[in-house]
Every structure is written in structure tokens, then in C-alpha cells.
Amino acid sequence: MNEHVLREPGVLAIYAEVDAAAAAIERLRREGLKDVVVFTPVPRHELEHALHPPESPVRLFTLVGGLTGAATGFALTIYTSWDWPLITGGKPIVSLPPFVIIAFELTILFGALSTVLGLLINARLPRARLRVVYDPSFSVDRFGVFVAPPLAREEQARRIFRETGAVQIRERPEEIRVGTL
Amino acid sequence: MATVLRSETHPGIASYQEVNRDILKILGRPGRGYFLLLAFVLAVLGLGIFAWMVQIVLGIGMAGLRNPVGWGVYITNFVFWVGIAHSGTLISAILYLFRARWRQSIYRASEAMTVFAVMTAGLFPIIHLGRPWIFYYLLPYPNQRQLWPNFRSPLLWDVFAVGTYFTVSATFFYVGMIPDIAAARDATSVRWRKALYSVLSLGWRGTDREWKHFTRAYLYLAALATPLVLSVHSVVSWDFAVSIVPGWHTTIFAPYFVAGAIFSGLAMVITLLVPMRKVFRLEEYFTVHHFESMAKLILLTSFIVVYAYVTEYFMAWYSVEVPERFAFYNRAFGDYWWATWIMLTCNTVVPQLLWLKRVRTSIAALFVISIFINIGMWFERFVIIVTSLAAEYEPWQWGNYQPSWVEMSILAGSFAWFLMWFLLFMRVLPPVSVAELKEVLPAPLRFRRPAGERRP
């Protein structure tokens, strides 16, 4: 392992209990250190309440995708029917009831795919940076709180982590490789 | 010291760590039994592929399809496998929206079953084509012939419904798995696995930002998959209901097919989970409570199916239509009486055993019953398709259908194809959700919760 060790400026605290991590986030925010990154193996309400995140914009992607799908479904069926107007069974060229089925399926298809797109864009996935602040225990049972305050306030962050009972506090945590290409 | 609480749904699992250990252990090096089973499955699949090749080279006449029965085992298989798929989406999406607390451990395997069953089902319309190499004529794309598909045809609705179903369920399956693939990435030291999981996990770290958008996206995907699953088997049923064949032309078909699909799919989930539970010692994960809940849903859907059978017979009698009445008389007492009675026994009589709690909580009994239901539901589709076509309106047109060895080999091959994917999946991707299971386990806490607060 001769690879150059990258270190991220900031402090990473590892917690064994979710309520302790939530308490730390709340104290950091109260004391003005709002730029925190939280790592958790499972989404927990305690952490979400401590963070007060704004509503995720993924729902807009779902809505726009779904509406695009419906419009595409009707446009495709109506346009192609007129492109070769052949009357079958005495039915109108534009027979809307069966076209609703196509439009419905495309609503779901486009809605689902754009939801995934919204997830990837908003969550910044897949990661372009391969080496990041992380610890493999975050996918098991540990909760992480990372904060990158100005140098003068690092001591303050460390104190909060100590007082809320972090199992481990890492200064300038080493970056770990989580992606492979 | 962290307070130790026990989960209500999984009392045998003490900690988050245990979940990672038990589930990711499955992704270890498989034993000899696994490879022997896989080899057997591949051999049967080879037989199916050989039979299809024979049919492609010598023509569709190698199947037993003759006038008047143009749809036989192939379309039976198509409907059967699409139906199997449905309960996976029921467990992963519908029970998610209902916040059912018994879906977390079983949904991943059921969802995998959905994806593989749709992959199996999708083969059959193509196998059924006389010239399968031009199956893409079904897709609407600008072409030199300046032709577009006929969107008024139910068969084209199928292309859209099944195509969308496959895409959405595969997407839902993969997206839900990203955090677990990351957990597998962090746990493994095998090189190819590390590389595979690193790519598939997209660099997931479980940050608050990732989870926030992930949970929302998952909710909307579930909300989209729910109407989709109900629509897919409805559309499949309209392949039949829209035509004017006695025994097919009824409005009850869509709900009848959807209920039957969930009924058969739940049975298939049990058929798959019971051996999995035994081999990988997942008793704490797939608890008796999970199986009992599925058994109750099977009982419920079996009653919807029974209701549909009764309605069909009643409507045939009430319509005073001679061909319609004959079609149903012919089902029960005609040349295919045995198929009808197998179907009725397996789908209406056998599930009644599930009234007994002793049966519902006996894994062995459920396994046997689930196999009966699988057989019964296959025959249901066979009966609907074949008996109706064999004796339509004009007696001089009547004729019987005998499946050929090609069709039966492809039927066997389809099971092998499905099992091959499932076997590969179990050993390569986490077959039980690691992250979601932790949602029903008590979180490690430093302080006791204030009295009166709901336990996790």
C-alpha cells in the first residue's frame, strides 16, 4: 500500500447508538456547525428530525416523468393511427379507450425511470470520486457524523463529539476507496 | 450501555451486526450441492433450448398446435409465469405502502422471483411466434415498410404492459438493493465480488443525503408499481376477454386473473423460501409468522378465485347462451374434465386446509400445499385456454389438442431457466434485505426511550 494517503480536513465521529448520534447533530446545529454529513446503516427518524432536511425534490421527477409518459403514450398511438389511417371493425381511427392502456403503461414506465434519475441526480450517484470519507462499519451498525468546520472551531466539534459519547473521533479522516472502475 | 430490546417480528435477531453476518454469509463460496443442482438445472434448460431449436428449424408444426386450438401450452405458460411474478410486487410494493411489518425479510427474494418470472414469461410469446426472429415487429419504430403496430390489438397492449412491468420491477429490484450491495462490498474480501459490488453499489455510503432521496424514490417507485401490477394481469386477461370466444368473453376476467396471479405467486414464494430457509438456516429471518401471513393471503385470494369460478358458471347458466353454457359444461365434463378437476381440487379444496392454524404454522404442510396450488394454477390457465378453443361455436370445427414433446420440453426448460436465475441470484446478490430488516429491529440506544413512546 504505497498509495498516497488522502486526508479530508474535518472531524469524523463514530457512534454506536443512534440517539447519541442524533444528540450530537442537534448540538452541532445549535452551536452553528450546520454543515454535517451523517452516515447510517438504516434510515432513522431520529437522525432525520435532528437534521431538519428540506423535502426531497425526487417527487417532481416522478410527476414530470409520469406526465411525459402519458403525453407520449397518447401522441404515439394517435400519430401512428393517423399515419396509416385504416378503419378496422368500424371503429374510429383514433380509438381512445385502447390508447389509454398504452398511455397508462408509459406513464408508469417514464415515471419510474425518471424517479430513478431523480434519485441519482439528487443523491449524487454514482460517485465520481472514488476515495471518500467513510468507514465500512457504517453499513453494519455504526452511525457516523462528519463535520468540516473552520480550523478554529474544530476543537468545539471535538468537544461536542466527546460529550455526546462518540466511540471514536477521527481528525482529518483518511479517505477510503468505495468505488472501483 | 445500550439498552437491549427485542424486535416483535424477529425476536431471534439481537443486533444489526447479526443481520450483516447471517445474510452476507450466504454470499460465500457455494458447496458441491449447489453446483450439482445448478448443473441439473442447466441440463434441463439445455433440453428446452434444444426443443426450441427443433421448432425453429422444422417449423411451428413441431408444437401440438392445430386448428382450432391455436393457443396451447405456450400461452398457458406465459399467463402462468406472468401470474407468478405478481406476488413479488405485491410483497415489495403493495405491502410496503400498507406498512406491513412482515415484508422486510421476504421481499427481496420475492422481488427477484418477480423479475425472473417476467423474464420467463416474456419468452413465451416469442417462442409461440412462427418466425421468432422478427419479434421486433411488435415494437413501434419507424421502419422502411412505413408500418406501425395496431394499438387496438390486445396483443400489443401486452407488449407494453409486460415490457413496462419487466423494466419497472427490475429497476425497483435493483434500486432497493443498492444499500445492501454496499454492505456486501464492505464485507467481502473476494476480489471479483469486491469489484462487482463496488460498481453496482454506485459508491453508496449511506449518508443522510443519499438516504433522504433514496427513501423518497423508493416510495414513489412502490406507488407506481402498485397500479402497474394490477394493470399487467388485467391486460393479459383482456387477450382473452376482448375476443368473442365462449368462456373468455366476460368482464370478470381482469380481477379474476389478478387475484389468481397473487394466489399462485404467493404459493411460489413459499415454494422457494422453504428450501432457502432450510439450506441457509434463515429460521430467524423467515419466521413462522411470515409464512402464516402469506398463508392467510393465499386463503383470501383463493376465495376470490373460487368466487370467480362460481360467477363464471352462474353467468353461463344465466345468459341462456347455448355456446356459453356448453363451454362450461364441456369444461367440467368434456374431454378435458381431468384438467378442470385438478384445477378445482388444487385451487378450491386444498387451500381450505389453511383455515387450521396448525396447518398455517407448519412449514412442511405449507410447502406441500404451495406445490398443489402451483399445479392447480397452471391447469387453470390450461383449462381456460384449451377447453374454450377446442369447442367454440360450430361443432364441425371442434378438435382436441395434444401437447407435443417440444412443448413439454420447453415447459420444463422454462422452470429450469427461472431456477437458474434464482440460484445465481442467491449466491451473488444479498437475497434478504440487510438495510430494511434493520428497520424492524430495535436501534441501538444509549438512553431508554421515554415511557409511552412506540417501540420500534
Give the gap in angstroms from C-alpha B336 to the nearest C-alpha of chain A: 34
Whether residue B449 has pLDDT greater than 70: no
Q: What is the pLDDT of residue A179?
A: 63
Give the gap in angstroms from C-alpha A34 to the nearest C-alpha of chain B: 13
A62: contact with B, CB 8 A cutoff: yes
Whether residue B4 has pLDDT greater than 60: no
Q: Which residue would you say has higher pLDDT here, B5 or B376? A: B376
Nearest CA in chain A to B2: A17
**pLDDT bucket at B101, cuts 50 / 70 / 90:** confident
pLDDT in tens, A9-57: 889 999 999 999 999 999 999 998 888 999 999 999 889 888 888 899 9
Q: Among residues 150-169 of chain A, which lie with CB inside 8 Å of chain B?
A: 165
Q: Among residues 141-160 of chain B, which lie with CB inside 8 Å of chain A?
A: 146-152, 156-157, 160
Q: Please count the other Cβ atoms lying within 10 Å of the Cβ belonging to residue B449.
A: 14
Chain A partners within 8 Å of B195 (Cβ): 180
Q: What is the pLDDT of residue A2?
A: 40
As a whole number of angstroms, the distance between CA B302 and CA B256 comes to 10
For chain A, list residues with pLDDT below 70: 1-6, 128, 179-181
Give the gap in angstroms from C-alpha A152 to the nearest C-alpha of chain B: 26
Q: Among residues 394-453 of chain B, which lie with CB inside 8 Å of chain A?
A: 434-436, 438-439, 443-447
Say if CB A138 and CB B206 are below 8 A apart.
Answer: yes
Whether residue A123 and residue B210 make contact (CB cut-off 8 A), yes or no, is: yes
Q: Among residues 13-32 of chain B, which lie with CB inside 8 Å of chain A?
A: 15-17, 20
B116 sits in which H/E element:
helix B107-121
User: Which of B380, B373, B419 lies closest to B276 in space, CA to CA?
Assistant: B419
Cα–chain-centroid distance for residue B60? 28
Closest CB to B212 among A17, A56, A115? A56
A114: contact with B, CB 8 A cutoff: no
B322: contact with A, CB 8 A cutoff: no
Q: What is the pLDDT of residue B247?
A: 92
As a whole number of angstroms, the distance between CA A146 and CA A13 comes to 6
Region B236-255: what's the mean pLDDT? 93
B205: contact with A, CB 8 A cutoff: yes
Domain ranges of chain B: 16-132+225-440
Whether residue B160 and residue A126 make contact (CB cut-off 8 A), yes or no, is: no
**pLDDT bucket at B451, cuts 50 / 70 / 90:** very low
As a whole number of angstroms, the distance between CA B377 and CA B81 comes to 10
Percent of chain B at pLDDT exceeding 90: 84
**pLDDT bucket at B334, cuts 50 / 70 / 90:** very high
Q: What is the pLDDT of residue B5?
A: 65
Closest CB to B445 among A17, A137, A138? A17
Chain A partners within 8 Å of B118 (Cβ): none
Give the gap in angstroms from C-alpha B38 to the nearest C-alpha of chain A: 30
Say if CB B41 and CB B416 are below 8 A apart.
Answer: yes
Say if CB B264 and CB B377 are below 8 A apart.
Answer: yes
Chain A partners within 8 Å of B205 (Cβ): 39, 127, 132, 134, 138, 178
Q: What is the pLDDT of residue A1?
A: 37
| Residue B281 region by backbone torsions, left for phi larger than 0, else alpha for psi between -120 and 50, else beta | left
Say if CB B411 and CB B82 are below 8 A apart.
Answer: no
Sign of CA dihedral B33, B37, B43, B49: negative
**DSSP assignments along B282-293, one per residue:** -TTTS-HHHHHH
Sign of CA dihedral B314, B315, B320, B324: negative
Chain A partners within 8 Å of B15 (Cβ): 141
Length of chain A: 181
A119: contact with B, CB 8 A cutoff: yes
Give the gap in angstroms from C-alpha A109 to the nearest C-alpha of chain B: 6
Whether residue B456 has pLDDT greater than 80: no
A133 sits in which H/E element:
strand A131-133
Global pTM value = 0.93
Best of A12, A29, A42, A114 to substitute, by most chain B Cβ atoms within 10 angstroms, is A42
Whether residue B168 and residue A112 make contact (CB cut-off 8 A), yes or no, is: yes
Say if CB A147 and CB A33 are below 8 A apart.
Answer: yes
Amino acid at B448: R
Q: What is the pLDDT of residue A10?
A: 87
Beta bridge mates, A131: A177
Domain ranges of chain A: 11-52+129-177, 58-122
Cβ contacts of A16 within 8 Å, gap of 6 or more: A141, A142, A143, A167, B2, B444
Task: Show the cell assigned to B209.
Answer: 443525503
Whether residue B152 has pLDDT greater than 80: yes
As a whole number of angstroms, the distance between CA A66 and CA A105 comes to 10
pLDDT in tens, B281-332: 999 999 999 999 999 999 999 999 999 999 999 999 999 999 999 999 999 9
Q: Where are the alpha helices (DSSP H) in A31-153?
A: 45-51, 58-83, 96-122
Whether residue A53 and residue B140 make contact (CB cut-off 8 A), yes or no, is: no
Mean pLDDT, chain B, rounded, equals 92
Q: What is the pLDDT of residue A172?
A: 80
- Under 8 Å CB pairs connecting chains A and B tally to 212
Q: What is the pLDDT of residue A131?
A: 75
B58: contact with A, CB 8 A cutoff: no
Rg (CA), chain B: 24
Whether residue B182 has pLDDT greater than 90: yes
**pLDDT bucket at B448, cuts 50 / 70 / 90:** low
pLDDT in tens, B37-81: 999 999 999 999 999 999 999 999 999 999 899 999 999 999 999
